[in-house]
Structure 1
Amino acid sequence: MALIKFPTKTVNTDGVNPFVNSVFDNLFNDSFISDRLVTRIPAVNITETTEAFAIELAAPGLQKSDFKINVDKNIISISVDKVEESVSDDKLYSKKEYSYSSFSRSFTLPETVNYSDIDAVYVDGVLQVKIGKKEEAIVAKRLIEVK
């Protein structure tokens, strides 16, 4: 068996058919197509402290009234269904990227959640949802002395 080491640089195949390569390069590097392939769901951070869970959802450009937060059994759903108004200005956009028109994120809650202690705040483009824990789920920390 023979092992062949390929060069680390890309092989220049423009000599074979430069037209085909330029078409594929333009197709895969086109922002119109690549923007459609990228999901438009906001990023989420989930943290846990001794007293509560916290969900932080990055969704700039929205209003507090755009969010709907539903809790059904052990699933919390955060959704936005925003209808974009078409405003005719004197502006001519060459590219318009930020448009979270609608999305939905759902998360399964553990059994330790206190369902009456859920709060949400929208500040500086970040939705912060605080989900409290039950009293029996909060573990008291203490130092144990070794004897």
Structure 2
Amino acid sequence: MLLELKQVGYRTATTKIVNNISFTLQRGEFKLITGPSGCGKSTLLKMVASLISPDIGVILLEGQDITTLSPEAYRQQVSYCAQTPALFGDTVYDNLIFPWQIRHQRPQPTAFADDLARFELPETILQKPITALSGGEKQRIALIRNLQFLPKILLLDEITSAL
């Protein structure tokens, strides 16, 4: 079993946002989480991404409680692409080189060009300031960054909302 949630819940001081969620995910399996706006879909994904901690329940990755794993090791296996893309640094290049830097690796010479072309972006965008990108460009750059190294689990939170 790749991922297992056991009676996971999350609440604020006054509101239950996610309550008693349990499910499993096998290797190669896809899950689609649907529901009305505000029902906790993004909160659930953030818990699986280990960006917030559940108040109750446990999340297991390959049988191991994710709270026992280092955040760096976990996030290399479970990648989260948010509805609102979070870019950092000054340029597109800063965002795409980051996954390579944290792994202490150098990118393949054609890695960025191939990925940019796959998402219909010109190679010249690498030096473009992130403040000059459209919403759709930001979303594609964030997705490319998450796909530089294929994770065991890829969490996509309304990924096409800006495309």
> Shared fold (TM-score greater than 0.5)?
no
Higher strand share: 1
Select the structure of larger CA radius of gyration: 1
Alignment TM-score, normalising by the size of structure 2 = 0.21
Alignment TM-score, normalising by the size of structure 1 = 0.22
